[in-house]
Amino acid sequence: MNENKETIKNDFCGTTVCTEERKPCEEEVREIYRNLTAGKDSVETLRPMSADSAFREVLLRQDKDYSDLCARVEGYAAENGYDLKELSPMAKGMMHISASLNALTDKSSSKLASIMLQGIDMGVISITKIVNKLHKEGASCPLAEEMLDMLERNALEMRKFL
């Protein structure tokens, strides 16, 4: 690394980066946030569709987990001047329409869990790419790893309803 370049320690991603090359982990933070808000929106869309109180309770707890991690990411972004964008109204609308159509004729817990698992799998893929990329660079991102753990727990819970 050029000795004239300013370096900083980034607590969120656990890596030292050169500030002249890029803002530390901004892209990763945005992707984590996008996935968290997508998960939260999915839970909020599917929860009212279920007649199963046990399934609704699991979704309620998952919603809290998504919200808590979202708040931490938002705080980190605010501290670092990152501009986080929520899903566009069009993307939210498309997710809602897709979930509603998929559950149109079958609102069983099994069907709703299957819909949730599809979204969880997309999140796992996206966040795993971030974690793997950072590991290759000799860095880590504890919140991304925490999100992966959360998604894996959520998937296990959803599988119980299949």
pTM exceeding the 0.85 threshold for the entire prediction: no
- pLDDT higher than 50, residue 41: yes
- pLDDT higher than 80, residue 126: yes
Rounded Cα gap, residues 92 and 42, in angstroms: 9
Rounded Cα gap, residues 116 and 158, in angstroms: 7
Residue count (the chain): 162
Average pLDDT, the chain: 83
pLDDT band at 12 (very low <50, low <70, confident <90, very high): low
Would you state the pLDDT for residue 28?
A: 87
Q: Where are the chain's structural domains?
A: 25-159
Residue 145 CA, chain-centre distance (Å), reads: 11
Residue 151 CA, chain-centre distance (Å), reads: 8
Domain with residues 25-159, CATH architecture:
Up-down Bundle (1.20)
Rounded Cα gap, residues 113 and 68, in angstroms: 22
